[in-house]
Amino acid sequence: MGASFNAFALIIVIGRVYFHQISAQENSPFLYEKFPGGFAWGVASAAYQVEGAADVDGRGPSIWDTFVHIPGNIHNNDTGDVACDSYHRFREDIKAMKHLGVSYYRFSISWSRVLPDGTLGNINQKGLNYYRTLVRELLENGIQPFVTLYHWDLPQALQDHGGWLNETIIQHFSNYSDLMFRELGGQVKHWLTFNEPFIVSWLGHGIGIFPPNIKRPGTGAYIATHNIIKSHTRVYRLYDRNFRSTQRGVVGITLNCDWAEPKTDTEEDRAAAERLMQFRLGWFANPIFGNGDYPQIMKSLVSAKSKFQGFSKSRLPEFTEEEKRENNGSYDFFGLNHYTTVLVNDNTHQSLQPDYDQDSDLGMSSDPSWKGSASVWLKVVPWGMRKLLAWIKNTYNNPPLYVTENGVSDCGDINDEDRIHYYKFYINEMLKAIRNDRCDVRGYMAWSLLDNFEWLSGYSEKFGLYSVDFGRADRARTPKASANYYSDIVRRNGFPTDSSMNYIQFESPDRDMFLKGTFDEGFVWGVSTSAYQVEGAWNVDGKGPSIWDTFSHMPGTIADRTNGDVACDSYHRYLEDVRILNQLGVSHYRFSISWSRIFPDGTISSLNPLGLHYYGRLIDALLTNNIEPMVTLYHWDLPQALQDQGGWTNDTIIGHFNDYARICFSNFGDRVKLWITFNEAFVVAWLGHGIGVFAPGIKDMGTTPYIVGHNIIRSHALAYNTYNRLFRNHYGGKVGISLDSDWFEPLTQSTGDRLASERALQFKLGWFANPIFGNGDYPSVMKEYVAKKSKRQGLVNSRLPEFTTEEKRMNRGSADFLGLNHYTTRLVRYTSSPRVPASYELDQDLYTTYSPCWNTTVCDWLKVNPWGLRKLLDWIKNRYNNPTVYITENGVCDTGEVEDKGRISYYRGYINEVMKAVKLDGCDVKGYVAWSLMDNFEWASGYSQKFGLYKVNFTDPRRPRTAKSSARFYSNLRSNNGFI
């Protein structure tokens, strides 16, 4: 609610208390176990409660600013004018969160700080800058923002026009939300539209004890709710339509509810408890998470009461059929605020006075044995948490859920043992709901980070993990005992029996150990680039256009609207590249050949001697400097002329690729001993032909990626066979393929998650590796799942093509080594995907996420988790009989700083995991090739993300290269052949 004020606490049912029977669930033993991996631990606050700065930097007044300045409304006439002064002291809040170790901060935006009069006609840039800065600094400190758009503080200017009782509010809220998505959506991945709309509706527009002070108990609350739900739905659909594909966030709503326990075990009281759940939670949840409409019991009772009271129609508004459709499913997750439990008894009301509170025909009380708190309405009843979560699961088909508020009030003691007790048992009941009841709870936000302005109670009730001295101008923050306790829960990710257990459980005691030592003599140290990313000269010396030339010139395809026309200009400055390679001291340089520079139209008939001459000169220069070339034939830049004929979807491409490979083998094979046919075939198939974010920009998620993958594998096998027949005896080189894969770690240790993790590996790496390094065919689990999904979609044949017996024979063993590109790890959880649409991703019945404990980078997909590389190498060893492996890409992105300490840390950690894989696990890894030699054109990200050991000045026509700190580190590592 900030702590949820319980309006029902105002209704005291006087009489004998009937003690209900304690169920097995209520007295189940304390569960010593951890939460699932990736569980989101956080803390919460709200703008009016902590920010202060009420009239600073152009902020307009909200309804709470008006309300608190009316004498008698707030305990001790306190106000939120200064509160915790977080507007000026948010960095202190971030420091406190860092101490807690939380990975999420749920805060709200003050609508009137960004739009002083609530409308787009008056945008306050200073307000926007405040939230931009807050979000940025949270992320810089490893804390993810979890943002609430509306936490009760409506701009007063909108209230003057009727506020939530005027339908025009829907468009104003949509405009405000659209602005915030545009301003912050690139960084904010979790959005809440409303916090506790029940409070807004009933306390604000029903009994009027909260602003805007409207007392219309029979109609006001229902009208306000109707407009709030429609506002939520419009904003959810707005995000879905305009922002989801680019920002990839999720949108939910936070609803508050006590658990309603029947006062007695009679049928009447059980029915009354269910009515309370429907009137309190279902009022908002059923339209959004249910069938799109209000609960049937609510519609029936309010209609009957309205008729009895002389109304011509129900006081409960009706949704149109279109509105119901829009409401239904307008969520990505369920936000739940829960604090306490109430006892409910049947109590029929037949009043002529319309009143939401009496429409549900029930009464409420509490058990006198329940422990109290500083808030009269808040009794400590931990088992109610588990029961409520199970009710939501069973009623709304187990939606993804975040507990967005939970906590207890006291007088503000630093040694707050009661709060420790509260968190311990409430959080444990949540753990039982996850582990035992299979509730899909994703995270927990403790209320609250700080003691703050607690609405009507002012500063008399304290919910904070940190004490705030409101008597001091600097609002000094002091951690309470509960802060240390909660930090311990976060660190241990729950309640393991062994308190020394780390957050991420691992199988071997040496997982986080750093291994000193050196690699074997002859270990390959190299760096990597690719043609389109560095060469430039896109239309020089007869080169034909590639699909990336076409794609990057299309508006809206590249993040920073750049292209690779010049890039690092390596076509003209390759000797400079050789110079810095020499400076690094590497033994190998992995680069790619531009197919359209050799064959401008993709076919042998268009052979371009100038293209051959360029690569011949580059190879000779490398060898002169004792640097071995490691050559990739295809790094995504298909000649556009072949794409015009269908590209990788047309199996004539197989012959064209073989012609191209044969010419390269014959012209350069005497000097090139390591060949890679394809780089990251998965990216070509899925990003290029599935979701279409890479060239050639084809969007067909269900079929085309499999066709493309099929033709790439057949092309590889034929080119390998060609090398074997015509060149191996003459040149003695080796031919492999570079495949990319994350490590996929089970989110939990459940059988479903472990199997899903294996499936993810088979669908990503096994898709291409199994035909080549395995049995010549696709992984059996991939064939099974795609065939099953295809059949359910009404298809006669599987969307996954089949290899002939002869093709399987050619595929099997068609590589001398595996090139592995690896950057990050994902956590995997089993999920049953819908039947439609047809999609490679949905075929797998899983979803992936990242652990919030892993360091973030400027690439949203790249989280730093070194031990995943060792696990992946071990999996390859065991799955494919320990093939020879070269790490052909591994690196990390940043914004291009020369003092790139993050990259040094990344290389140190990941390369040490390679050493462990070799020395401790026996993996046959022959070399490590860092990505990349220099900053370059990073595909759809343009030049906004930098992976280079060398900085390139792209504003200087000479494209000067400057060594970064990581270049010196990598050079020393190469000189020492490891870690001495």
CA 33, CA 867: separation in Å to the nearest integer? 23
CB 137 within 8 A of CB 98: no
In sequence order, which residues have a C-beta less than 8 Å from that of residue 657 and are 6 or more positions away?
Answer: 633, 634, 715, 718, 719
**Residue of 405, 429, 628, 745 marked active site:** 405
Is 268 tagged catalytic? no
| Other C-beta atoms lying within 10 Å of the C-beta of residue 763 | 22
Q: Among the residues of 400-444, which ranges form H helices?
A: 417-435
CA 38, CA 443: separation in Å to the nearest integer? 9
CA 454, CA 2: separation in Å to the nearest integer? 7
- Cα four-point dihedral sign 295, 299, 300, 305: positive
Is 680 tagged catalytic? yes
Partner residues linked to 402 by β-bridges: 335, 443
Query: Which amino acid, one-letter code, is at 579?
Result: R
CB 916 within 8 A of CB 765: no
Burial bucket for residue 33 (CB in 10 Å: 0-12, 13-18, 19+): middle
Q: What per-residue string of b and e applies to 317-327 under the rule 16 or more CB within 10 Å gives b?
A: bebeeebbebb
DSSP helix/strand/coil, 449: coil
Which 3-state string (H, E, C) describes 590-613?
EEECCHHHHCCCCCHHHCCHHHHH
Q: Nearest to residue 645, comparing CAs of 703, 603, 700, 587?
A: 603
Is 137 tagged catalytic? no
Q: Among the residues of 101-142, which ranges form H helices?
A: 111-114, 125-140
CA 168, CA 174: separation in Å to the nearest integer? 10
Is 913 tagged catalytic? no
| Other C-beta atoms lying within 10 Å of the C-beta of residue 481 | 15
CB 233 within 8 A of CB 313: no
**Residue of 92, 183, 196, 323 marked active site:** 196
CA 367, CA 18: separation in Å to the nearest integer? 8
**Residue of 680, 745, 913, 938 marked active site:** 680
Bridging pattern class, strands 144-150 and 104-108: parallel
CB 756 within 8 A of CB 828: yes
Q: Which residue pairs from 764-768 have beta carbons closer than 8 angstroms and sit at least 24 positions apart in sequence?
A: 764/682, 764/740, 765/739, 765/741, 765/876, 766/879, 767/682, 767/709, 768/681, 768/682, 768/709, 768/712, 768/713, 768/737, 768/739
CA 283, CA 201: separation in Å to the nearest integer? 11
Partner residues linked to 144 by β-bridges: 104
Q: Which residue pairs from 951-958 have beta carbons closer than 8 angstroms and sit at least 24 positions apart in sequence?
A: 951/896, 951/898, 952/568
In sequence order, which residues have a C-beta less than 8 Å from that of residue 612 and are 6 or more positions away?
Answer: 598, 663, 667
CB 645 within 8 A of CB 711: no
Q: Nearest to residue 59, comparing CAs of 131, 111, 129?
A: 111
Q: Nearest to residue 394, comparing CAs of 360, 440, 435?
A: 440
Token readout for 406 is 């939970």
Partner residues linked to 517 by β-bridges: 979
Token readout for 613 is 């001459």
CA 383, CA 391: separation in Å to the nearest integer? 13
* Helix axis angle, 383-395 to 417-435, nearest 10°: 30
CA 615, CA 570: separation in Å to the nearest integer? 11
CA 678, CA 593: separation in Å to the nearest integer? 11
Task: Give the distance between the most distant pair of CA atoms in the chain.
Answer: 101
Question: Could you list the active site residues?
Answer: 196, 405, 680, 889
